[in-house]
Structure formats: C-alpha cells, structure tokens
Amino acid sequence: MSRRYHPFPCDEGPSADVDSIVADAGLPGPSPVLGILPSYNAAGACEQPKGSPRIVGGNDAKNGSWPWQVSIREGSNHICGGSLIAESWVVSAAHCFNGDKSAYLVNLGEYQLLNPSESLVSFPIKEIYRHPSYTDIGFSGDIALVELETPVKFNSVIRPICLPASSVEFPSGMECWVTGWGDTQYGGSLTAPKTLQEVQVPLIDRDTCNSLFNTGSYPDDPQGINPIKQDMICAGYPQGEKDACQGDSGGPLVCEWDSAWLLAGVVSWGVECARPNRPGVYILLPPYADWIQGYVPTIPFTVRSMSVMQLNSAGASPLGALRNILGASPIHTTLKQTKRIGGPLGLLRALSHCLVCLCLVPALPAMLLLVVAVPMIL
C-alpha cells in the first residue's frame, strides 16, 4: 500500500467557550494567543524534543531523532508509516489496511529498512480500528488506530508522540516536519540502505489549499472542487519541491509547539508528489481526539498556547497566523462581521457578542495584548 492517490463529513474539534477563555487567560505561561491550559503528560514521555534536525526534497534523519516513527509491514515489505502514541497504540492511515490484521507487523526503533539495527522491535497487531466515516471512495476519516499485541517498552529511540486536544488549532505558515521511508520522487524509490527521511514544510490552511487545487489540472486530480475537507490540512509549497510521497502514508506530520512535539496530522493523499499547486494532504488529529480517547481512555492530550514569538521562530507571520487562528474557530466567526476601529494601537476589532478582544501593536509585532471587555453592541 502506498500513499493514496486519485482517481478516486467530518467534525471539527470543539472550540473553548468564552467563559473558559476568559478564565484561562490568567494562567501562567508564554504570552498566550488564547488563554489555553498547559499541557499535561503523566510520564512526560512525549515531551522530549528530537535531535538535531535536518520524502521528496528531504534529507536523511538522524538515528533516533523521531522516536515515535513506525514502519508498518505487510510480509517483509514496508507499506506505510505510523506514529506511536501509547504503549500499545499506533496511529496510521485507514487506507493502509485492506487485509486481515495477521498480515501486518509494526516495527519500532527502525532507522534503515535494509540495515536493521539492534533497537528494532517487531509487534504483531491485536486489532485495527478504522474510523467509521472512512470509505474507499472518500478521503475524510482516513485515520486508523492500531492496537499492538504486547506493550512497548520506551527507550531513547522508542517514545510516543504527544497528541493535540480537540481544541488545538495549528496556524497556517507554521513550519512542521514529515518523516518516512517513501519514494524520494514520483515513481522513484528510496535508495539503499533506505534511511528514514525528514523534510520541513509549512502548513497551508484549508481555504488556501482548495484554491491551489482549483488551479490548473492534472490527470490524477480529485473530482469536483474544494477537495480539502474540514478534517484535513495541507503542508508544502505552491511551487512543489518538498512533499510526502508513496510509502509515506500513515506517517506523522509533527509540529514543535511550546517545547513539545505534537502529532498534527497523518499522511493521507496527494496528486503525484511535490507537484506545483498540489501540496500534500494530511488528516488532522484534533477532530479525532475524542474518537481516539474512546479507545485509549488513559491517554493524555496536550492543550498548548502559542506565543507570537513562537510563531516567528516557527517561520509563520505573527499577524497572518493570528488571523488564521481567529478565523478558523467557530467561536470567532463574528470577527468577520464586526466593525474595525482605527487608532494609535492599530488593529482593534470590537466583538458584539464576545467577551475577548485582541489588540496588536504594529510597531511591536511580537507584542500581543489580551483585553477582556464587557459585551457591547457597536
């Protein structure tokens, strides 16, 4: 099974209510865009950062730098990637699994496919749970939970990735990472010894990505307009160059957020690899947090705040990312319908039905003032 291509209703994660936003705004932490609860993880296992950073347009990763990366095997063949999220659980793509669970193995601690290391451990699969909304003729719901027969023992090269809570939103422009053993070009396999690849790509919001997919045409384009659905996010460049490819399906799209690595998405589909105006498409994790917790009730989810300084360091425009955050959540849709007030403090939007207003100082792009106001009608 390779990364899925053409030819050929998912829920968005719930946003916090206004009361919780106001209450959380006083919590300690780095200059919050929205006052959001800090992360928690009982063992702290997923808090570890990767090693020195370095698919299509990617580079060899360092051994152990992505300790949650798994290789899913069908027989002796690598078919898909995945991410370790708990001692007995892996997240991958639903389209990776068409056969009986006994046909697959999950390899952890793997680095070079043709040069097995001493850290490599293989696990039979106890059960595969594909999301009920997934169908072979659609792309939404392309996510699966894989339960291992026996628990994993964590070590320096085998550790889980943190999961974002349903309220977490990843801003457009944020620089994230994709890893896998897939093709390094469309139709071109990874060369021996088949070392794990990594590539850094910026996130692209759904509306922008749909606009790109509606530009020009390729033989394998999806049918209809706006193929990027609510449970998807894109990553890459309009000009192409860097992308996931065949064999990377199910693998992780991870973002460093407040010193922790979060699993933002799962490699799902694309049109060839790294084509202009056709960035890679990923299934978002936050919309499926509740579904995952239904199977793994003890797993912790991370809710983090993102500071403007962090957006700068991640390569995202502070104002652009903030606009994206505000525009993406249902609770903030009134921003597009309210009045803009000028003045020395620059952009100020008065919300007619919300308690939280935001004010940016143009001369100080890293400064964000959170203003709590009473409801008002302008």
Catalytic residues: 95, 142, 249
* Cα 325 to Cα 205, 227, 256, 304, 331, distances in angstroms: 10, 21, 17, 13, 11
Structure tokens at 269: 């589909």
CA angle, 250 as apex, 45 and 105 as ends, to 5°?
80
> Is the preceding omega at residue 193 within 30 degrees of 0, hence cis?
yes
68's CB contacts (< 8 A; 6+ apart) are: 46, 83, 84, 85, 159, 160, 161, 252, 254, 263
Kindly write down the DSSP assignment for every residue of 189-215, as one continuous string.
PPPTT-B-EEEEEEEE-HHHHHHHHTS
Q: Determine if residue 85 is left, alpha or beta; phi over 0 gives left, psi from -120 to 50 gives alpha, anything else beta.
A: alpha
Q: Are 228 and 256 in contact (CB under 8 A)?
A: no
